[in-house]
Amino acid sequence: MKILIKNGHVIDPANGIDGVTDIYIEDGIIAEIGKNDDLDGVENIQVIDAKGMIVAPGLVDMHVHLREPGQEYKEDIETGTRAAVYGGVTSVACMPNTEPVCDNETVVRYIKERAKEVGYANVFPVGAISKGLEGQYLAEIGEMVFSGAVAVTDDGKPVENSALMRRAMQYSDMFDITVISHCEDMALGEGDMNEGAVATEMGLRGISPAAEEVMAARDILVAESINCRVHIAHISTKNTVELIRQAKKRGVKVTCETCPHYFSLTDEACRGFNTNAKMNPPLRTAEDVLAIKEGLKDGTIDCIVTDHAPHHPDEKECEFGYAKNGIVGLETSLGLGIKYLVKEGYLTMSQLIEKMSKNPSEVLGIAKGTLSTGHSADVVIFDPQKAWTVDVKELHSKSKNSPFDGFELYGKPEYVLVNGKVVINSGELMK
């Protein structure tokens, strides 16, 4: 099978490409990048006219909850990866807080096999740091890596024991994988939403930004002391950005990620007891949003991830204090990035793509996030000027818990290729 993507504005940060050209794909592999008008005699070729559109590496979302095994009533590998490709995401790293927990090679293998059977996107399992996510004993990290895990994390909760965190970093380093840290001081973090005027007025329990920051500081210092790497997950506060900025200046091997909701929404979104604005870490203030954007701009923040966290309506249509944390995000992340980062001038399109494909691939050490020849062809094609309106009922995830209903965004993917196969064609899933 041969595919030629013609006349598109190709952006490939890994190779410094940012201009109009063509991409020729053969047998699922990127064969050639460059003007290609000579199709005489070439048979069985599909030509995609990408004129006026951006052609970029398929997005890599390194923080996704696919919920399988165990919580298929929220999402499963099929529906989660379906939502992913609709959003231009061709690779996802899935979090280990499944039932059973992904803390051993059997579960890692199960996820990989299910993804092969039913997945629309590439799935890279992330294993647990500790057995059962209990923060007591190291999980069998080596065996998980050998069966396909690309990182470890206890995401959803912090590793409270600092010594265990240190050992996790040391141990993971041997296997050349990164520890992803969910930074939260549990005692300080007890609450419903960000601490401040909105929480106070609504009578909701406020979560101090320090809950995130003290743990980020701890993990930076622990990593620095043993010269190991650490990746700080879903950062949301001004001071966390600054902590990481300073650590990077000192040469600490720290990387980090933020999510679209932390650069597009504030705690004001919780008004009216809107449980779709309830998440952990919570939505912060306008000052934090600005600091996140600045951190993205100056390179302090490496990656944009969704923390796609599907929840059943019964878990959201309830009292705010009882509602589960988290929102779905796979289908809105690119659009939010274009609207709030590119159109506002914080990032160029190339930088946005870099933070949504190349950088997360590098943190995970996977051969994705590039259009280099010889790589499998994961490609997203979208028109960044074309507006679309989010309708949560139309989302392809099993769950619809998004705070972005009715938002006008840009750049809904028109074509998405996964391993050289067109899975989204003119905006619709190929059967």
Partner 1 sequence: MKQDLLGLKDLSAQQIKNILSHAADMKKVVLSDSKKIPNLQGKTVVNLFYENSTRTRMSFELAAKYMSANAANISSSGSSVAKGETLIDTAETLDVMGTDILVMRHNMSGAPHLIAPVIKASVINAGDGMNEHPTQALLDIFTMIEHKGHIEGLKVAIIGDISHSRVVRSNIHGLTKLGAEVSLGGPATLMPKDIDKMGVKVFNNVQEAIIDADVVMGLRIQLERQKKGLFPSVREYFRFFGVDESRLRLAKPDAILMHPGPVNRGVELSTSVIDGDKSVITEQVTNGVAVRMAVMDMLINGGF
Output 203 or 251, the one with its CB closest to partner 1: 203
Output 13 or 403, the one with its CB closest to partner 1: 403
Residue 209 touching partner 1 (CB under 8 A) = no
Output 41 or 272, the one with its CB closest to partner 1: 272
Residues carrying an active site annotation: 307
Q: How far is the CB of 190 from partner 1 (least distance, A)?
A: 10
Residue 196 touching partner 1 (CB under 8 A) = yes
Q: How far is the CB of 315 from partner 1 (least distance, A)?
A: 10
User: Helix 210-226 vs helix 162-174: angle between axes, to the nearest 10 degrees?
Assistant: 50
Q: Which of 38, 40, 43, 201 binds partner 1 (CB under 8 A)?
A: 201
Which among 125-133, 162-170, 204-212, 339-347 is the span making contact with partner 1, rule CB under 8 A? 204-212
Residue 78 touching partner 1 (CB under 8 A) = no
Q: Which of 24, 110, 124, 320 binds partner 1 (CB under 8 A)?
A: 320
Which among 112-120, 292-300, 313-321, 401-409 is the span making contact with partner 1, rule CB under 8 A? 313-321
Residue 202 touching partner 1 (CB under 8 A) = yes
Residue 206 touching partner 1 (CB under 8 A) = yes
Distances (CA, A) of 66 to 147, 238, 329, 431: 19, 29, 12, 21
Q: How far is the CB of 350 from partner 1 (least distance, A)?
A: 40
Question: For the chain, what is the HEC assignment?
Answer: CEEEEEEEEEEEHHHCEEEEEEEEEECCEEEEECCCCCCCCCCCEEEEECCCCEEEECEEEEEECCCCCCCCCCCCHHHHHHHHHHCCEEEEEECCCCCCCCCCHHHHHHHHHHHHHHCCCEEEECECCEHHHCCCCECCHHHHHHCCCCEEECCCCCCCCHHHHHHHHHHHHHCCCEEEECCCCCCCCCCCEECCHHHHHHCCCEECCHHHHHHHHHHHHHHHHHCCCEEECCCCCHHHHHHHHHHHHHCCCEEEEECHHHHHCCHHHHCCCCHHHCCCCCCCCHHHHHHHHHHHHCCCCCEECCCECCCCHHHCCCCHHHCCCCCCCCCCHHHHHHHHHHCCCCCCHHHHHHHHHHHHHHHHCCCCCCCCCCCECCEEEECCCCEEECCHHHCCCCCCCCCCCCCEEECCEEEEEECCEEEEECCEECC
Look-up: residue for tokens 């391993």?
419
Q: How far is the CB of 195 from partner 1 (least distance, A)?
A: 5
Residue 319 touching partner 1 (CB under 8 A) = yes
**Number of residues binding to partner 1, judged by CB under 8 A:** 21
Residue 47 touching partner 1 (CB under 8 A) = no
Q: How far is the CB of 294 from partner 1 (least distance, A)?
A: 23
Q: Which of 195, 331, 354, 383 binds partner 1 (CB under 8 A)?
A: 195
Residue 288 touching partner 1 (CB under 8 A) = no
Output 15 or 274, the one with its CB closest to partner 1: 274
Output 175 or 273, the one with its CB closest to partner 1: 273
Q: Which of 45, 221, 226, 318 binds partner 1 (CB under 8 A)?
A: 318
State residue 309 phi and psi, 5-degree precision.
-130, 85
- The residues, any chain, with a CB within 8 Å of residue 148's CB and separated by 6 or more, are 108, 109, 112, 124, 125
Residue 321 touching partner 1 (CB under 8 A) = yes
Residue 146 touching partner 1 (CB under 8 A) = no
Residue 199 touching partner 1 (CB under 8 A) = yes
Q: How far is the CB of 197 from partner 1 (least distance, A)?
A: 4
Q: How far is the CB of 219 from partner 1 (least distance, A)?
A: 26
In the window 155-194, what residues touch partner 1 (CB under 8 A)? 192
Which among 92-100, 290-298, 315-323, 359-367 is the span making contact with partner 1, rule CB under 8 A? 315-323
| Interface contacts to partner 1, rule CB under 8 A | 192, 195-197, 199-206, 272-273, 314, 317-322
